[in-house]
Amino acid sequence: MKTAIFDRAKALLTNVYPVNAQTYLVKSQRGEGVYRVDLEASTCTCPAYTYGLRPCKHLLAATLYKKLRRNGSSHSSQATP
């Protein structure tokens, strides 16, 4: 299970858009919405997070995105979703 959610989070890296140092917008994989992730509060506005799946793939994707950016990798555009 943990590997599957991590793989889904990695697949979302091209859908992560920074708002500021702690807040990110993450497009859904199905294109059904954009979710706000707050890394400082460890929250996400997606239905999975709301229903208790924590961490959700969007929160993991934003965390991974931030870590990769800090290490010099670029896996997402800077455009707005």
Residue reference for tokens 């994707």 = 61
Kind of pairing between the strands at 43-44 and 34-38: antiparallel
How do the pLDDT tens digits run along the chain, 81 residues long? 578 988 999 999 999 999 999 999 999 988 889 999 999 999 999 999 999 988 999 999 999 999 999 887 655 444 455
The burial of 41, by beta-carbon neighbours within 10 Å (0-12 exposed, 13-18 middle, 19 or more buried), is given as exposed
Strands of the 34-38 sheet, one edge to the other: 16-18, 23-27, 34-38, 43-44
